[in-house]
Amino acid sequence: MRTALYPGTFDPITNGHLDLVKRALRLFDRLIVAVGTARDKAPLFTIDERVEFIRAAVRGIGDVEVIPFEGLLVDVVRGAGAVAIIRGLREVSDFEYEFQMALMNRRLASEIETVFLMPSERYTYLDSTIVKEVVMLGGDVEGLVPEPVQEALLTKRRNR
């Protein structure tokens, strides 16, 4: 059984992330979605909320496990028994950062591969930051995030 790990902050998970989950499952038997603590960011949702949003969103998709993580990514990948890291590339500007991270991960753990996947064209512009910004400014993100996430974002907007 070949396992891959898809790391991210997922603050919040979008339908673009879910698209990559489905694409990764075409290549691997099992996928672990690893939700990072995002110490260097100020997440809108707690790590527990993000983990629960993803668990609800991936229910029934395939062999997907969702875990929180902190620390060095390659240590988490090794501990999970995964052979690859899944990363999404939406645009050229993503490539530079992702390439740098992939090379560092390869230096730290040469047995772990990084697999870059492109989302469906309809999600190439989509990221968590823009979703949060649109919602907080009163815009509609229906169809861009799972329904429970949309509801939680609207609640956050009302409570600000």
Q: Quick one: pLDDT at residue 38?
A: 74
Residues 6 or more apart from 9 whose CB is under 8 A from it?
35, 36, 38, 41, 43, 50, 128
pTM of the full predicted structure? Answer: 0.94
Q: Quick one: pLDDT at residue 35?
A: 98
Q: Quick one: pLDDT at residue 100?
A: 95
Q: Quick one: pLDDT at residue 7?
A: 98
DSSP summary character for residue 123: G
Distance of CA 130 to the CA centre of its chain: 15
* Greatest Cα pair distance in the chain: 47
Environment class of 145 (CB within 10 Å of its CB; exposed 0-12, middle 13-18, buried 19+): buried
Q: Quick one: pLDDT at residue 41?
A: 78
List the pLDDT tens digit at each of the 160 positions of the chain.
999 999 999 999 999 999 999 999 999 999 999 999 977 778 999 999 999 999 999 999 999 999 999 999 999 999 999 999 999 998 887 899 999 999 999 999 999 999 999 999 999 989 999 999 999 999 999 999 999 999 999 999 998 8
d(CA 110, CA 103): 9
Structure tokens at 51: 């983990």
Category of 10 on φ-ψ map: left (φ > 0), alpha (ψ -120 to 50) or beta:
left
Cis peptide before 119 (omega within 30 of 0): no
Q: Quick one: pLDDT at residue 91?
A: 82
Instruction: Show which residues are catalytic.
Output: 17, 41, 90, 128
Q: Quick one: pLDDT at residue 44?
A: 93
Q: Quick one: pLDDT at residue 74?
A: 97
Domains detected in the chain: 3-124 (3.40.50.620)
